[in-house]
Structure formats: C-alpha cells, structure tokens
C-alpha cells in the first residue's frame, strides 16, 4: 500500500524523507499554503505591471542579468532557461533520488516565496503520485546558482520535453505527461528560474548518504560487538566512567549501546579472569571512534533536515513586504560541508571494521584458527576476503577527500565561488557501498569466530544478530565460492536489518 504524505511546507521530517527515499509515495499539500503561493504570484505580476526591472523576472540570467527582456517575451524567456540549462551528462539518477528531489522542490516552492503558481506545483505533485519521474543525468552541477542542470532536466518534463521513466520504462517527456494526466505547461514570469534555482539535487543525494550512513553505523555497532566477543575482548573500555570524564555526548551514547549489545554473555563470563591487559585499538577505542562518527552523522542530519525545508531559489518574493530580493540561498555550501563530514564518517566506520576483521584472522591476536577455518593450508578461509576489505577501505580514503575545498568559477566569472555540493553528496553512495562490503566481511568473520567459541553463547542481542547472518550464510567449514556469501551479508547491512538492535535515539532519521 502506497504511503500518503501531506506536506505542510517547510516541516518535512527526516523520517518522512526516509519513507520517500525508500518507495513510491503519494503527496498532498495542506490547504493553507495556497494563500502565500497566490500572494507571491501577485507580487511578481505587480512588479511587471509597474514596469520595474527585477533580476530573473524580466532580465537575463547570470552575467546577462543587465539585459532587460520585453514583457511580450517573458514566457519565451522562462522556456528558454529550462531548455538551455538542461545540459547534464552521465548516467541517470535512480528513481528514488529523483523522487526525493521532486518532493524537496515541491516543499520549497509551496512555502510561497518563489512567485510560482500552484498549478505548476500541482503538476509536480501529479508526476510524483503517478510515479512518472524525469530522467536526470547525475553530473553537471557545481552546487551554486542552485543545482541548475539537474533541476532543468526535472523541469523539461513539465514542458513535454526531455525523457521520463515510469515503473522502469523509458518514455518521452510528452508520453510521461500523458500518463500523469497532464498537458505541457506554459511557464509564467520567474517560474522557470524558480524551478531551476535551488539545492534539491545536492540535498537529495545528501539525504541518501545520511540514511546509508545510519545503516552502516548500526551494522558496525553490531559487527564490532561480535568481534569483541570473537576475540575475547575486555568490557572495561566500555565502562561509563571512562566516557563521562571525557564528556562527548555521542561517545557516551555509543559506549552505552555497546554495553547493552554485549550484556549477559557466556563468552564474557568465560574469560573474566584472563591476564590480558589491553586490547588493540580497533576493539578498545570503538566508543571513541564510533562516537566521533556519530557526532558527524547527527550534525549532518540537523543541517540536511534544515536544507530539505529551505527556500533556496533566487530571487525571493516577500509578499508581505512587497519586496523581491536577489540573494544567494542557492549556494549549497552547508550541504557540501556536511557531505564531506559524512564521507569521513563512512570511511572511518569501514577503516575500523577492516582492522577488526584483520585482527580476527590473525591467530596470534585472536587465538582463533588461522584465517578462521579448520585445516588451514588446505583451506585459505577468510584470507582473501580480508584483502577485499582492505581494498574497499583504501578506496574510501581517496573518495573521502573533501569536495567543498574546491571551486571553479562559472558563468564568465559572475559565479566566482561554488560549493561542489552535488559531487560531495553524490559520491557518498559509492563510499557507502564500499563500507557495506567491509562490514559484510567483518560480520561473516565475527560470526565465524563466535561459532568457534561454542558451546558458549554470546549475548541475547548478538545471538539474534548472528541468527540473521546464519539465516542467509552458513558456517564456513571449508573453502567454497565466497563472493555470494559476502553479497548476502552486504544485503543485510544495506537493508537496515540490524537497525533495531541499536538504540533508536542514535539514528536521527528514526527519531525526527
């Protein structure tokens, strides 16, 4: 059954946005928003009738802003900007990304500061509800002056141009409109610019990166706890006294989660009197590292949620003040910076996981069979799985290089500093895929290690996690085709199968 989300403009929650990202939805607008939308359209109309010259309404764009456009060419101006700016390249965005992007644009325009008619906003809603999505190339935005190319490709569909997809089938833009029960729209003054200006593509990518980071975080908490058990790690580093004196909220919360996951373990009781003094950092410092990652995730969630509800086109129409102001809300620097911080968190989650897995296959460190398999030599066990894990973790180090520190001037130096937010957020998907692979390998290794501790059992929560893994991947008793096992475990990670085992207040999109 399709979920219906009523948009009260400017109040979308991360939980609602997660729902929109996961599956097709039906969206509606609250009735009250029509007043502000109509008022902004009237303000634009009044400006034109008064003969005032306002950027984006009756002028050219970018460096051509000083060119005044005659009133009888304003409709042509808006159509031209959409078609000329649809200059993206590369593979098309996933339908889920486009759906998010469209809902974000609906949410922003419906706040009533953009001078665009309700009729145009309703057309976007009809397309979303009919599951007709514009085909939008992933590349071509620098995240300043808005995500111009992606949003232009989104808008071509309203004109009956471009390409669309419907339930996986590619269509012409005109065919897509017909499926949604629409006809091509003639855009009025400012409407093309209102559609094209904005950070909705960058923000959609960033939201997907945030949701993936949450799922990676939850899986890493579980796999890290299982590794503690498999390696007979100490519980002392998770003691609340240690974390309270440092004072970082996320570190304190993460340590509490580890204690909960590890509580009531037979394996722990079996080695309480062991002579081990200190565990390696990848076990002992998990609250510190994962706490720092959680801080980045929480901060990113706050910034992205704000931007998801922002008015980020230009110029802005303030009907109550009877004013139209050209500013720079289209500059996506907030998204660029938090996307870079999410990249660091995603990379570090994977880097720490790879080190734990490497520890488990080293029999000198873990006191488990070499490479986690009986008859080592005849069997190679997890030897090359760790190589794969190292390759993925290393690749993420390069991808984590900050995008927001880069800028190339555009529009003949009129737009002389840009955010690169679109790439900053888009690359999170590839990084998350890599880290999911690393965590999948650790999950298989840590469950293998815990199984070697039988008949002792781990904690009830970790037994539940191990059962999820063992439901799809059997114990590795001898060498077999390994790749399908990793894929099945990776699917568990990316599906959020371990989210419920982690305190819900650690995951921002589940508590908003």
User: Taking the CB of residue 488, how many other CB atoms lie within 10 A of it?
Assistant: 15
CA distance linking residue 26 with residue 178, whole number of Å: 18
Whole-Å CA distances, 143 to 13, 148, 282, 308, 422: 23, 8, 37, 15, 6
pLDDT at 46 over 90: yes
pLDDT bucket at 277, cuts 50 / 70 / 90 = low
Check if 55 is active-site: yes
> pLDDT value at position 181?
98
Token couple for 34: 């029509």
pLDDT at 415 over 90: no
The predicted-structure confidence for 235-266, as pLDDT tens digits, reads as follows 999 999 999 999 999 999 999 999 999 999 99
The answer to whether the CB of 120 falls within 8 A of the CB of 187 is yes
Which listed residue (55, 113, 133, 258) is catalytic? Answer: 55
pLDDT at 61 over 80: no
The predicted-structure confidence for 10-29, as pLDDT tens digits, reads as follows 999 999 999 999 999 999 99
Backbone angles phi, psi at 316, to 5 degrees: -105, 140
CA distance linking residue 48 with residue 43, whole number of Å: 9
Backbone angles phi, psi at 138, to 5 degrees: -70, -30
> pLDDT value at position 63?
67
The predicted-structure confidence for 374-394, as pLDDT tens digits, reads as follows 999 999 999 999 999 999 999
The predicted-structure confidence for 165-211, as pLDDT tens digits, reads as follows 999 999 999 999 999 999 999 999 999 999 999 999 999 999 999 99
HEC string of 365-413 equals HHCCCHHHCCCECCECCCHHHHHHHHHHHHHHHHHCCCCCCCCCCECCC
Taking residues 418-430, report their average pLDDT: 95
pLDDT at 413 over 70: no
pLDDT at 144 over 90: no
Q: Which stretch of 67-71, 308-312, 381-385 has the lowest confidence by average pLDDT?
A: 67-71
């Amino acid at each position: 059954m399709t979920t219906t989300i009523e948009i009260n403009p400017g109040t979308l929650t991360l939980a609602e946005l997660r729902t929109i990202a996961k599956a097709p939805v039906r969206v509606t607008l609250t009735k009250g928003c029509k007043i502000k939308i109509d008022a902004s359209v009237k303000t634009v109309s009044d400006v034109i009738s008064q003969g005032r010259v306002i950027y984006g309404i009756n002028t050219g764009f970018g460096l051509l802003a000083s060119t005044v456009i005659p009133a009888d060419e304003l409709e042509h101006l808006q159509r031209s900007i959409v078609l000329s700016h649809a200059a993206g390249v590369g593979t098309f965005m996933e339908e889920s990304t486009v759906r998010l992007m469209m809902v974000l644009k609906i949410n922003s325009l419906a706040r009533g500061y953009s001078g665009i008619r309700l009729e145009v906003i309703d057309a976007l809603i009809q397309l979303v509800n009919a599951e007709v999505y514009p085909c939008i190339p992933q590349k071509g935005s620098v995240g300043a002056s808005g995500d111009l190319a992606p949003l232009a490709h989104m808008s071509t569909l309203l004109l009956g141009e471009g390409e669309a997809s419907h339930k996986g089938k590619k269509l012409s833009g005109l065919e897509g409109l017909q499926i949604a029960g629409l006809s091509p729209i003639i855009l009025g003054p400012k409407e093309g610019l209102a559609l094209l200006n904005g950070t909705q593509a960058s923000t959609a990518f960033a939201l997907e990166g945030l949701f993936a980071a949450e799922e990676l975080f939850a899986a890493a908490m579980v796999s890290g706890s299982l590794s503690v058990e498999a390696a007979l790690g100490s519980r002392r580093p998770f003691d609340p006294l240690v974390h309270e004196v440092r004072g970082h909220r996320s570190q304190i919360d993460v340590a509490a989660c580890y204690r909960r996951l590890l509580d009531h373990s037979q394996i722990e009781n079996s080695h309480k009197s062991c002579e081990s003094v200190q565990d390696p950092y990848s076990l002992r410092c998990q609250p510190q590292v994962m706490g720092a990652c959680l801080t980045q995730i929480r901060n990113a969630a706050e910034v992205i949620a704000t931007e998801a509800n922002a008015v980020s086109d230009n110029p802005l129409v303030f009907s109550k003040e009877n004013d139209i102001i050209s500013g720079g809300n289209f500059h996506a620097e907030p998204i660029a910076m938090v996307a870079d911080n999410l990249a660091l968190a995603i990379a570090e989650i994977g880097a720490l996981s790879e080190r734990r897995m490497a520890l488990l296959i080293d029999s000198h460190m873990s006191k488990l069979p070499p490479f986690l398999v009986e008859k080592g030599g005849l069997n190679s066990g997890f030897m090359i799985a760790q190589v794969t894990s190292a390759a993925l973790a290393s690749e993420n180090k390069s991808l984590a290089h900050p995008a927001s520190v880069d800028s190339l001037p555009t529009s003949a130096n009129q737009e002389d500093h840009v955010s690169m937010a679109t790439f900053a957020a888009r690359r999170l998907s590839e990084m998350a895929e890599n880290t999911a692979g690393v965590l999948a390998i650790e999950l298989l290794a840590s469950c293998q290690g815990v199984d070697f501790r039988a008949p002792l059992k781990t904690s009830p929560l970790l037994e539940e996690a191990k059962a999820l893994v063992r439901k799809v991947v059997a114990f590795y008793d001898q060498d077999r085709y390994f790749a399908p096992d990793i894929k099945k475990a990776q699917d568990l990670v990316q599906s959020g199968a371990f989210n419920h085992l982690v305190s819900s207040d650690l995951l921002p999109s589940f508590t908003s």
